[in-house]
Amino acid sequence: MKFGVLKDIKNGEYRVVATPAEVSILTEDGHDVYVASKAGYAAGFDDEEYEKAGATITMGNEEIWQTCDFVAKVKEIEASEYELMREGQLIYCCIHPAAHKEEVDALLEKKVIAITAEDSHRYGSPNCEAAGKAGAFMGLWSMMSTNGGSGKFVSGLGAAPGIKALVCGCGTVGKGAIEVLQTMGAWVTVADVNIGALREISAKYDGKVNTVISNKYNIAKELPTTDLVINCVRWPKNAADFMIDRKMVASMRRGSVIVDVSNDYGCIETFHETTHDDPIYIEEGVVHYCVSNIPGAIAGSASVAYAASVLPHFQSIMNEGLEKACVKNGYLRRSLTAYKGYLTHEETSGIQDRPWVQPEVILGIADKKLDPAPKTTITRSDNFYSEF
């Protein structure tokens, strides 16, 4: 198979989906690997390293779109790339389909086979860990007086106390944020709806991290004395209310900071997406850091960890075929988003009111012994295509 490593073109994105290590393994498997020039440069990998690993370097992304059967990148497909997609082409990247209707339109119109990377990780995405850890650092940076923050230092100075931080959500993202903040001396509270997850966090840090059930009442009670909020909650796209509304934000002390790692509209009322070029803004006296691709700032480490985690998916698809790969791995199967003109992603169907078909049905593997995987979200849809 001809496999292409695209150069990510999202503003402020420096990660690469495959390093020379993964390229060497795929070429050893007998595949032709193409890498766009400078695709890994910002993450610390030169074109010469990819060539030594067996890759063919192309002048840019367009040649890869034209040449390769299977293409991959880190972030979502940009509008400028829609016309480059080809019917039947395999695409693996972080599509975020439920929130990007136009992108889904293009995937279906072009009749590609698209896999949503963020739904394919059995043990949590390294990008989520990177987002949590880097997000904590960005929050501390945002708190500096030079950025409009309160000027408090994370662990305190002499008679000055350390900061109080609230981490909303203790999945992979939240755990990363908690690790950084607690290690650096912050007084951390974590809010989640899962008592078991809260118990694990408390045990891991010998009770030095406070835990509360995540609901609007408890969060509102915490905010007036909180210096830094890290939002790591994957908020339902069709939620009827905010987790943190404007009045709650206004209750925070001037110079406090909110880092919205999740970037879901509808979760924090004062949220709007920012970029690495212009990362912060102030509303209700509170500094907001809302960059949508935080891990891009630590592209070297994030690329190494992420590429290693997705390599087994690439190998399984390329060596055994998509159907067999989806039988063996339920997480890969559930992440199939579009298949030759048909939507195969339940959350997107439910949020966008589109018909869909289950991946196992359209792939013809429903009668096989399928590796199980949990649903990606609570969103459900029975809006099925009539022909299936």
Q: Is 96 a catalytic residue?
A: yes
Burial class (CB in 10 A: 0-12, 13-18, 19+), 55: buried
The two three-digit tokens of residue 361, written as one number: 């049905």
* Short-list 170, 165, 127, 171, CA closest to 14: 127
What is residue 385's DSSP assignment? -
3-state DSSP call for residue 258? strand
Whole-angstrom distance, CA of residue 73 vs CA of residue 84: 14
* Helix, strand, or coil (residue 105): helix
Active site residue 264: yes
The answer to whether the CB of 53 falls within 8 A of the CB of 31 is no
**286-289 and 257-260 as β-strands: parallel, antiparallel, unpaired?**
parallel
Q: 3-state DSSP call for residue 208?
A: coil
Helix (H) or strand (E) holding 281: strand 280-283
**Structural element, H or E, at residue 36:** strand 32-36
Catalytic residue (choose from 8, 192, 260, 264): 264
Please identify which of the residues 8, 31, 96, 227 carries the catalytic annotation.
96
| CA distances for 343 relative to 86, 93, 292, 346, 381, angstroms | 17, 16, 25, 8, 12
Element (H, E) at 198: helix 195-204
Contact 6, 92 (CB under 8 A): no
φ and ψ of 125, to 5 deg = -75, 135
CA distances from 328 to 321, 331, 339, 384 (A): 11, 9, 18, 25
Return the active site residues.
96, 264
